Structure 1
Amino acid sequence: MTKRFVYSKSLALVMSLCMFFISVLIPMKSASAEVIHRENYEMNWAYSPQYGKNVRTELLKNTSGQIAYCLVYGLKSPNGTDLPEVGRTDDVVYRVLLNGYPQKTPEQLGVPTWQQAHYATQLSIWHALGQINTGELQFKDAAVEQATKAITYAADHTGDTQDVYMNVQPTDKQEAKLNGEYFETTTYAVETNAKKGEYKIQLQEAPAGTRVVTEQGEAKETFQLGEKFRVQVPKSSKSAELSLRVTANLTNQHAVMYKGTSVIQDATVLLEHSQEKVSQDLQVFWKAVGGLKILKVDENKKPLAGAVFEVLASDQKSMGTIATNEKGIASLDNIEIGTYVVKEVKSPVGYILNDTPQTLEVKTGEMVTWTAENKQIKGNVQLLKVDAEHPEKKVAGVTFQLENSARKVISEHTTDENGLIKVENIPFGSYTFVESKAKEGYVLSQEPIPFQITEQGQTIELEAKNQPIYGELELTKIDVADGNVKLPNAEFEIRNEKGEIVAKGKTNAEGVATFKLGYGKYTYKETASPDGYMLNEETFSFEIKQNGEIVKHIVADEKIPSIQTTATDKTDGAKEMHTSKSVTIQDKVDYNDLLVGKEYTLTGKVMDKSTGKPLVVDGKEVTVEAKFTPKEANGSITLDFTCNATGLEGKEVVVFEKLFKDGKMVTSHEDINDKGQTVKFVNPEVKTTALNKVDGSKELEATDSVTIQDKVEYKDLIVGKEYVVKGKLMDKATNKPLQVDGKEVTSETTFTAKEKDGSVTLDFTFNASALEGKEVVVFEDVYQNEHNQRCVRL
């Protein structure tokens, strides 16, 4: 509750002291007086039990027509009286005046007329001064009562004062920040209880071009209350500070007190008064900074990290170093504007140092950018590919993939005729040669060949060895008829594609021969067969394609077949035979070690032993051919040679045999002196001696029964064969058979030759009574009895 006091004449001394105090605190204009007039109006709105009457007042106005109010209840109101101004009233009265009429309209105060508004304001002043307790009044007008309470309440609950104050906000030190072409402060506001006024801003140590502007950016020197201002410093100014001071001419309403007399009461009027206020000095600073940025790239504009730059100020003082990040950017922010020199002191890994200094001008709020290019370190590599066993031999045609450190293939290269790969301008880094395709005949190397390019222009020399492909040929020699039989001492030779012999060897006791051979195509063949076996003349092909490869071949040899022949007379198996127009020599061929199930061809030829040449009969050689497929390895077959043997008497013939398989002769039996192959054609001879059987004489008496005994002597018959001797008497005179009693006179005898040479007798008994004087001759024929084949005639 605001403190009240009772204003009365008895308090004149106190008031005088207060007025003196007020006049000291509040500078006043030179002493002046004001003529106050009064006007009456009808009122009957409140009754004071304290005073026992209705409370009344008059409308007071000064010569300017401004409404004044009475300060002392009960005294006479001035009317044309010249009252001196003695200062200000208490702030309590001031606040009533601010919240009463005419500062507030009747409508605002809730009353229909200005009179009611004026009356409620006057009651509130007396109440504030403790002269009337409005709470005890008996109001006859509710609107007046309510207005009085509203004014009183407002006066008690506001902090308005007649003292003029001025504050500039903010008061702390402010940073002017870059905005466009100026460093700009935040907005400053002049706070005051003055109702109106204007102010100016004084700047100290401000750079040229500094200005004060409104919130909207309008530069001006004088500002009205309510306007805010900013300070703008040109952005070209270097970092510094300035101070500002606000000087204001402020106008406010004061409750001016006019001094009455002993019978005329004091009055108060709400009037405007102006005064100058000066703020404290306020500080403003700004940072005139910018930045520099370096973008480090390679020749392809790819950002480079890790480049380090030293930054030198204009006085050559080092500002330190900055390094580019993964985006290739190195920056220095918030540095004082001016000229700087940047110099690369460390290049990105893998790049050539670019140490040419660069001058950069840093401007306020700007980031000066310099793009610096580095050339990548590049070098060369040479890879020489040689034969691992013969390093002097260079290997051409080997393909390598060149991989970077991420194992990504970046190129592919093949060794030239000198075994070289040359790769130039390889960027800095770690690399690996990986062999992807070996030269034919060499093992693909699985060992990577790493190298690094670390210096500009360097040439790295590498050597890689290729191991020739070696494989093995393993030959196993077996018996073709029995694969379980392994054959030692079979000799082989190996030839390359050019036909050159590259290896020789023979099978060991297990029948195995091995040959270490390089990559390529080869042939081999048997050059010497094991004892008792045929040479396998087939040429076999094989190829060594992979290192360590073992090519296994099984080579089968046939045992050398053997044949044994026995030529005989087919009729009786004899080794001698008689000639005839058709004879058959049968040759029994005993064979050994043939291949069961394979077809063979056996050819035979009859040879004249005396000449050693084929026997020719009727202009042709005597030959026979037979095909057969043995069911067993050992067996026999016969060949029959049938020919006209007339004229071959006395000849020995030999049968030659050849055995073929698959058109190739596998064995033969051609021994001209082999008795088993020989057959002899005998040359029988006979001579006869006809005698009288009785006395052995050559004459016979012509009787009716005579016997002529013919002794037949033979040579070169075949022992053991049965012969028949047939004889016939011939009339010598007629050279015809002798007829006796109409029949020829014949005789025959059968015998078996026990020796090649011998004799038999043949008796001819006949009636010779009619043959007196005749000479008869005995004709003899000798037959080999089995076929009734005549062997000889006499």
Structure 2
Amino acid sequence: MKVRHFIKPKKKTEILQVKAKPPRGLSFLSAITMVLPSVLGSTQKAFADGHHYIKVDKVPGLVKIDDNSFGPRDGQIASVHCIRGNFWDSRHQAVHGKVEGKDMRFYCLEPEKITPVAGTSSKSKNQVAKAAVKKVLMVGFGANSAEEMGFPGFSSEAEYATQVAVWEAQGAIDRITWLNTASGKKAHEIYNYVKKEAAKIKGNGATKLTLKVNDVDKTAGTATITPNLEENAQPISREGKVKMTGMTATQSSSPITNKVMSNKPVKVKLIETSNGSGNSNNDTNQPGATTREGDGESGASGSTAIASGSITFTFEGRTLAAPTYNAQLNNTQDTVCLVSLPAKNVTKTWSFDMKPVSEKTPGKAQFDIVKKDDEGNPVEGAKFDIYTADDGWSQDEFIGTLTTDKNGIAHSGLLDYGKYLAIEKSTGKNLEVDYTPVQVDLTEDNLKDNAKVTKEKVDGEEVDVYHLTVQGPINNHKPPLMTSLLTNLEDNSKFAQPIKGPVVLNEHLYFSHLVGTVSYNVHAWLVDKATGQPITINGQKIEANKTIGSPNEDGNDDGIEAYTDIQLKIPDASSLAGKDIVAFSEIARSDKPDHYTTVHQDINDKNETIHFSKPEIHTTAVNKETEGKKLQPTDGETITDTVDYKELIPGKEYTLHGIVMDKETGKAVMNNGKNVEFTKRFTATAANGSVKASVTFDDHHYRNHRLVVFESLYYTDYLLTDHRDINDVDQSLDVTNPQLHTTLSDNTEKLVSPKPENTVEDVVRYTDLIPGQTYSIRGKLIDQVTGAPVVKHGVPVMATATFQPSMPNGTVTLTFVFDGTQYTGHHLTAFESLYFNGRIVAEHADLNDASQTVTVDNSHGIAIPVPTIPRPGGTVVNNNNNNNNNSSNNNSSNGNNVSNNNEGNNNTPVVNQPKHDKLAILPTGHQVAQAQTQSPEALPKTAPTGYSLPQTGSARDTLAQNVGGIIVVMTVSSMVYFVKRKQTTGLD
């Protein structure tokens, strides 16, 4: 049994009534149960067979606890309400040990305490149990088998029923609820039987000898005598001694002289002797011998005489005792067992002519019991039940109750000489009852030696009255009774959080049975429920001590009550995540710690348990604008971090702190010399949930880098848990590396004739954009001569386009319209800027880039041949509309796969002299990026590697690399040719 506190008792329920029935034929199950002992062997066999208590020469002082007999029973048979502790319990585990190889069964006396465990030892308390408990043991299981009790096959139920009856006789329980199961019903039936039989017991189970005499023929001098011997109301077969005078005897047809067996008839015959001829037996010439007349006169020679013979039977006497034990562990229950101890031999004599017993000297006796407590103070109000006792001091008949007065003395009335037992049944306030029987020897011999004698008149006759003073047992004060409740000091709850910081638990303690005007030391410590070991942080136990004072005495019979709180401070609780922590506590009287100490160490006590949560967070970081896993190198990128959490405490406020890390360097991402980080406070509405946080920053210095968001969760400014995995893809985003490259021409011509309305097209190749997102590209023409924008009517010439790429790489076309007559002989270069949501993603502004440049003819009429590049497959985006890469161009003549609704062009445009083979401006179809296949967007496990503008194709595409090489060579050749043309035309 385990101690439980602060548990409200259940409502009283009706006890299941099962009417006892006479045993019937064994069921199959019962038969199996009866057979089991023969198969199981060892301990279980001995106890399943029952019978019996063990015979010992003295009460064993120390008994090693062995395994239980039928295994632990939890909620299988009944539930009992424990008076001390005020809780219901449905558990029971039988206990037994061995003494000199013999099994010794124990029954529990204190169900509210812990059951002794196997391997420990129980020590005798040098006390005996209540008479009512002993009677239960005498008729219950252990002293008798289930079969002998009339319930074959139900040993387990018989044992449990006996245990419940013991608790009730001890006064440890006050209510029983039997389960409506087969075992519950049967155990209840056996319990009723035990109660009924225990009430019938009059004696104490000691050895009892009676002589049954039959067939007495005084004339023939014969008789049959049976020495009936029994213990605990059961016949006992035992060898004894016999002594005969003037007779002979036979048993089982064999002569006996000095040995005899109990419970078997003995036939006796007086010895005939001739008058005057002597005796045939040395003991026949006894006083009181009789003479049987013969054929002649009485006393005549030859006549025969029959002596008055006798026979005496003597057998070993034993008495039953119910010694109590306590296991040598803290807070373990007291137990009781039934043993047979040596007692005075029992003797009976029978004769044909019994002599009258001489009367003893008439007289009476009276005794006083003096009671003191362990402080030496008189004990008032102690009650003793008085019993007669036999020669072996075994309890016999109840004759009355005595109560001590204010001086601690109980006075008996006048009693006959004899032996008596005084057993304490209650005592003074806040004192423990001592059930040790007090032997009151009122035999004449003892009284003459140890008592005072007075002459008093009894029933009108003056007699000697002896007055004997007896010291009663010294009562110890009750050890303090303690109940406790462990809570989190912060909110008085049963939960705590494993922060990397201090947590304080509060142990609320209630005490009773305290003694007034003395101090007590209180000690509490924390234990890991899983291991049973004390909690240590940095090598130090988590414990606390406190000294409390007890107020003066009050009128409470159970002593003084007191409350106190003691705090257990955990400096760093981070190692306790997921653990159940239990508080153990003890209280000891300061002046007598060895005598008055109570320890509460119940690892399963829910009231003393705190659960530390085991919080976890897992995060998913995405681009807030795209909800994807890629960022663009702008000055205003926003990451949204969704944090999923587990095992938080609803209603508590938490702080989420995040920081953005560069995986390549392992350092924090910086903006203006400061870490890019964010903080979010939130209140958990449930134990498990999610919260979102965002951070906006400039990442244009982190092109082609993988950024990882680290998160830490705090409670009350202390770290609770974090998620800092540099390799976690869910926490990661890749920064893209968009690039632009352009080709400016007038229908593939690099030399344009000056007109008031000149039109040139700028084919912009882009890389590493995010498909499906909307971009805008803005372009302007710059005059190389002045470095200023080209203007028309005083307004800078601009071109814009908005588009949604379907692939990371592609092209878009801008169209510029300007007045060429104002720039005759000038080189005009296109500058481009790519925007996303108003932020620059990439730009191309190289004044010396020949591919971005056209020349306005100086009217010499000589066209500058322009190297051409093979034209690509694919389509071009209209510069003035929101078109994607597959849109038609309605304004200009384009190459492969482009439809032109204004002019009819073929795939090989022809320009005026000089004639040259033309190469397409755009990359080939092999260089057009493939459509994405990943949906939704996911990151590879590794960060992207740096790469240049993929105008030469994929790093792994050999064909694309070759074509790219041609493009580079042609571009360089074009620039060289263009420079030569400038020299030819005289343009500066």
In the superposition, the TM-score normalised over structure 2's length comes to: 0.30
TM-score by length of 1: 0.36
Larger Rg: 1
Higher normalized contact order (CA 8 Å, seq sep 6+, divided by chain length): 2
Q: Greater strand percent: which structure?
A: 1
Structure with more of its chain in helix, by fraction: 2
